[in-house]
């Protein structure tokens, strides 16, 4: 009996040791508050948006949205390789938000945001911009380059059950959403030529900041003072 107990204890120790090594080998996934993760998600999206072909006349820059990131994290933790049903229902995902756009990617645990976003963007090979047709899958690409979308939030979770081993489920949510039926993702033309009250940088429409509008307001004030003195 003592020998049996010893073998049982030894077996448990070996199993525990293997589990510990396996856990140590799994990369630590970034959180939705990790500055590097956020920057890579935003920069990768904007890089692809800035170089669309044909060029876009109305492509807005994307900015990070914490609420969208929390929504993406909540869904990625479900470890379902399918779209969140709430994104197709009005005001169902996040209070104050209408419909949401969503992209999902399943890959190795070492996958990076840039790899996932590149995978989505590469669907552009199957998209015909002139007649808005797709020969394979294009919905991820068109959401990435949807001009009217201005915010994005992404998250990644470890979902080993989806690949039979450690896997990364990467989710991004977008607002306003894209992929409207019979509508192109953007308007073709000279970059930024259709930007509304915005600044053009790297072929993207940036909203005017307070600093950018202050000189104009100051000039208007001075002109008003001059006219008042003349009259």
What digits encode the pLDDT tens for the residues 157-199?
999 989 878 899 999 999 999 999 999 999 999 999 999 878 9
User: Under DSSP, is residue 126 helix (H, G, I), strand (E, B) or coil?
Assistant: helix
Residues 52-110: tens digit of each pLDDT: 999 999 999 999 999 999 999 999 999 999 999 999 999 999 988 899 999 999 999 99
User: Which residue shows structure tokens 């669309």?
Assistant: 52
Tokens 């390789």 belong to which residue? 81
| Nearest CA-CA partner of 179 in 156, 158, 208, 149 | 149
Which of these, 175, 224, 144, 168, lies nearest to 68 by C-alpha position?
175
CA distance readout (Å), 223 to 66, 108, 162, 214, 217? 41, 61, 65, 14, 10
Least confidently predicted of 4-8, 24-28, 95-99, 199-203: 4-8
What pLDDT does residue 166 have? 84
This model's pTM is above 0.75: yes
The predicted structure's pLDDT at residue 26: 62
């Amino acid at each position: 009996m003592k020998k049996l107990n010893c073998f049982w204890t030894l077996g448990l120790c070996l199993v525990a040791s293997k589990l510990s090594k396996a856990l140590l080998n799994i990369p630590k996934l970034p959180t939705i508050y990790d500055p590097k993760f956020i920057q890579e998600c935003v920069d990768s999206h904007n890089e692809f948006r800035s170089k669309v072909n044909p060029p876009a006349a109305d492509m807005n820059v994307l900015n990070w949205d914490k609420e969208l990131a929390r929504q993406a994290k909540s869904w990625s933790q479900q470890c379902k390789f399918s779209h969140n049903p709430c994104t197709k229902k009005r005001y169902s995902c996040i209070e104050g938000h209408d419909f949401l756009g969503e992209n999902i990617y399943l890959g190795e645990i070492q996958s990076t945001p840039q790899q996932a976003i590149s995978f989505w963007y590469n669907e552009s090979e199957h998209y015909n911009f002139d007649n808005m047709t797709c020969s394979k899958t294009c919905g991820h690409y068109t959401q990435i380059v949807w001009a009217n979308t201005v915010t994005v939030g992404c998250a990644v979770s470890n979902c080993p059950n989806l690949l039979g081993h450690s896997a990364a489920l990467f989710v991004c949510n977008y607002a306003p959403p894209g992929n409207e039926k019979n509508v192109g993702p953007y308007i073709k033309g000279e970059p930024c030529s259709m930007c509304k009250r915005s600044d053009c940088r790297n072929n993207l429409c940036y909203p005017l900041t307070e600093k950018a509008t202050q000189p104009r307001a100051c000039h208007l004030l001075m002109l008003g003072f001059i006219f008042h003195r003349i009259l």
